[in-house]
Chains A and B, each alone.
Chain A
């Protein structure tokens, strides 16, 4: 695991941060015709925990993530990180969006450097680029690489800041199936090595089972948390471990698919 070694030698640790959502609700639109996307969400994510948000389309997964990052303000309730309320965009968080959102005039490498916020060594940046499989593409511009590569660059940028709370919004959705598995393991390596708290949004039940300490299943829009599933399996996990099968069936059944 070259990335884990690099991080160990660079001695990168982040201040572990806990995330607490207290009866959070969020509505969009004008009063009278507003849509309640989230209602009464209470959740506590311990420092260093990996929590995966799972739910149907439009249930407010992304909105929940944006609330933690401070990109949106909760209509009711409060969001706190390490006991401090989130009021604006919060620098303790790093976000990997659904889309790459790279700066088009900066090279792949410079984009990652932006995410590193100037504080990290070039070895760390190089190691991250290598870990996401972009060695040799450092000097390319975002439009010169494929969509999947750009998304991996965005992942490297999100990781490069080594934030206390890492928020990922379907970060691997645009990747091919094999790369997706590699990137999942990379994320776990980085989280484990640095001690960062991870909140990840996904549609993919297998991804959730592989990554999560706990899976938070959101109900239909505005219905709050439907269920919290604890995945109590040691890491590194075997994706085909028979012990995960009952959990998978349970989650599939929740989404209306009966195996």
Chain B
């Protein structure tokens, strides 16, 4: 018995060490960014950030980078632009994917498996490969109808939503497959419509999957440069501004570091806000 306890303890120690090591390795770039953000242009250019950590007193520290970020250009405007891109580009695919996954899981219709296979197969299409056809298509729509989706937010929303959908549908359907069919049957007996079952049963029970996908999608859109650059060029987003901060000769990277840290705040807030929804066992106790 003692041996077993000892072994469990060893295992825990090993796990902890491993985790600390991994967290340490993964944190290195972020630490580098943080240190650099507080350095002056000259010291950032003359020595590495790790040298600054080991000899902190011989360094020049300053908040100049943060000052630059907050005062130069229209950083706040870009911040708002990024939000305007990111929020609908997160909500839209989740809404559509939830409806689709619900149908794929619970409603019997002809060709269901084939449609699902096609949707999943679409995951392999790289976004970059589709850019030119999509832009041409949107331009054709503009010429035909006068509705402009390029150079505006809706274009970016559509693009982000469309390319998020296959994965979102896949994840949500796989999750919904695990929901207790017995409960849904009981609800139908009590007179619930498909629509009510979706909103009152399936959505509340799918919150963990919805939240995790929301985090992924929001992070991806928030950090995206390519789609924002192509579709919303008139309203520069954060990533665009960050690139500008680097300067023509790449000598502004302490500014980029500071800007990145400011940009990091929102994803962090989103992560911690949604993390509490990863509640396991929400459905525990409904069916034996």
**Contact flag A104-B190 (CB < 8 Å), given A71-B185, A99-B182:** no
Q: Is B191 an interface residue (CB 8 A)?
A: yes
Per-position 1/0 for B258-285, Cβ under 8 A of A: 0000000000000000000000001111
* Further 4 A-B residue pairs, CB within 8 A, beyond A89-B188, A95-B186, A101-B183: A95-B189, A100-B286, A117-B191, A142-B285
Contact partner, A101, options B182, B191, B204, B282, Cβ 8 Å: B182
Q: Is A48 an interface residue (CB 8 A)?
A: no
Contact partner, A91, options B185, B191, B283, B286, Cβ 8 Å: B191
Contact partner, A117, options B190, B201, B283, Cβ 8 Å: B190
Question: Which residues from B are CB-within-8-Å of A95?
Answer: 186, 189
**Contact flag A97-B285 (CB < 8 Å), given A91-B191, A103-B201:** no
Question: Which residues from A are CB-within-8-Å of B204?
Answer: 105
Instruction: Report the bound CA distance from A91 to B188 in whole Å.
Output: 9
Q: Which residues from 163 to 201 on chain B have a C-beta closer than 8 Å to any C-beta of chain A?
A: 182-183, 185-191, 201
A161 lies within 8 A of B287 (CB): no
B190 lies within 8 A of A115 (CB): yes
Question: Which residues from A are CB-within-8-Å of B283?
Answer: 104
A97 lies within 8 A of B188 (CB): no
Instruction: Report the bound CA distance from A147 to B287 in whole Å.
Output: 10
Question: Which residues from B are CB-within-8-Å of A141?
Answer: 285
B200 to A, closest residue via Cβ: A103
B182 lies within 8 A of A143 (CB): no
Chain B residues with a Cβ under 8 A of chain A: 182-183, 185-191, 201, 204, 282-288
A97 lies within 8 A of B182 (CB): yes
Instruction: Report the bound CA distance from A208 to B204 in whole Å.
Output: 40
**Contact flag A69-B288 (CB < 8 Å), given A97-B182, A101-B182:** no
Question: Which residues from A are CB-within-8-Å of B284?
Answer: 104, 143
Q: 5 closest A-B pairs (Cβ-Cβ)?
A: A143-B285, A101-B186, A104-B286, A95-B189, A89-B188
A142 lies within 8 A of B191 (CB): no
Question: Which residues from A are CB-within-8-Å of B183?
Answer: 101, 103
Q: List 11 A-B contacts (CB under 8 A).
A: A71-B189, A91-B191, A93-B189, A97-B182, A100-B288, A102-B285, A104-B283, A105-B204, A117-B190, A142-B285, A147-B288
Interface of A is mostly: loop
Instruction: Report the bound CA distance from A97 to B287 in whole Å.
Output: 11
Question: Which residues from B are CB-within-8-Å of A150?
Answer: 285
Q: Which residues from 102 to 155 on chain A have a C-beta closer than 8 Å to any C-beta of chain B?
A: 102-105, 114-115, 117, 141-143, 147, 150
A105 lies within 8 A of B190 (CB): no
Q: Is A94 an interface residue (CB 8 A)?
A: yes
Contact partner, B189, options A94, A99, A100, A104, Cβ 8 Å: A94
Question: Which residues from B are CB-within-8-Å of A147?
Answer: 288
| Shortest CB distance B260–A (Å) | 40
Q: Is A157 an interface residue (CB 8 A)?
A: yes
Question: Which residues from A are CB-within-8-Å of B282?
Answer: 104-105
Specify which of B188, B283, B284 lies most central, judged by the most chain A CB atoms within 10 Å of its CB. B188
A160 to B, closest residue via Cβ: B190
Question: Which residues from A are CB-within-8-Å of B287?
Answer: 99-101
Instruction: Report the bound CA distance from A129 to B176 in whole Å.
Output: 32
A157 to B, closest residue via Cβ: B190
